[in-house]
Amino acid sequence: MDAQSLIARRVALELRSGNLVNLGIGIPTLVANYIPPDLKVFFQSENGLIGTGPIPEQGMAHPLLTDAAGRPITALPGACTFDSAMSFGLIRGGHVDVTVLGGLQVDAEGHLANWMIPGKMVPGMGGAMDLVSGAKRVIVAMQHAAKGKSKIVQKCALPLTSSRPVDLVVTDMAVIGFSGGRITLQETAPGVTVAEVMAVTEADLFIPAEVPQMNI
């Protein structure tokens, strides 16, 4: 299994029937591929849809039905559409149960940086700041390291997305939580040892006596 599918598969285990879920662009989008059929999750697309369905079959795309990246999608039975004020009212108002976002850095306090690299890349924050500030639960889905550098850092050097800490980080090597106010190694990926995780983690991880393997 490639790293991205592994992350998406593990994040999918966090979702519960009835959840209203917003998936960010990139690895988070893949999470929808791993939802068991009996799990009824509502996916929100922040451009104004609850009930986002899979990519349409060839020739069935509608130019006025797209995801937040402008790509054609479908709408499931029971879907509804709304304007952007409503969409972000849902997000900021705590009505979204879970958001899954990509990340550039997460630090020991759970702070996420994911919207700019000063002087290099300034795409804009889009909806990320509202999602982290308002969703009930924030999960970061990202590679553990980039070009050999840990993305789990002691303190974010990049501009923060929110002062609100995230709840869970799922990487290709580990699941990291923040319960009890400290950054904790909760699980390792199949075939990855605790020592290997520690070797590519800059933050001072708390290691419990028992660290189970991801159940995927």
Partner 1 sequence: MKPISAEEAIAMIPNGATVMVGGFMGVGTPERLLDELVRQRKSELSIISNDAAVPGKGVGKLFDAALVSTLTTSHIGLNPNVQKQMMANKVAVNLVPQGTFVERIRAGGCGLGGVLTPTGVGTIVEEGKRKIDVDGKSFLLETALRSDFALIHAFLADYLGNLTYALTARNFNPVMAMAADTVIVTAEHIVPVGVIAPDHVVTPAPLVDYLIANG
> Which residues of this chain interact with partner 1, rule CB under 8 A?
45-49, 62-70, 75, 81-85, 87-88, 91-92, 122-130, 133-134, 159-164
Q: Which is nearer to partner 1, 116 or 211 (CB)?
A: 116
Helix, strand and coil percent figures for the chain, each rounded to 5: 20, 25, 55
Of 8 and 128, which has the nearer Cβ to partner 1? Answer: 128
Report the residue number, 60 or 195, with the smaller CB distance to partner 1: 60
- Please report how close the Cβ of residue 213 comes to partner 1 at its closest, in angstroms: 35
Q: What is the dihedral of CA 175, 179, 182, 183, to 10 degrees?
A: 10
Least Cβ distance, residue 156 to partner 1 (angstroms): 11
Q: Which amino acid is at 169?
A: V
CB nearer to partner 1: give 85 or 209. Answer: 85
Tell me whether residue 46 is one of the annotated catalytic residues: yes
What's the rounded Cα separation, in Å, for the pair 12 and 208?
A: 24
Shortest distance, position 61 Cβ to partner 1, whole Å: 12
**SS3 state of residue 84:** helix
Q: How far is CA 160 from CA 5, 79, 118, 164, 175, in A?
A: 27, 33, 12, 10, 21
The per-residue DSSP string of 116-151 comes to -BTTTB----TTHHHHHHH-SEEEEE--SEETTEES
Residue 178 Cβ vs partner 1, minimum distance, rounded to whole Å: 16
Selected catalytic residue, list 46, 187, 196, 202: 46
The residues carrying an active-site annotation are 46
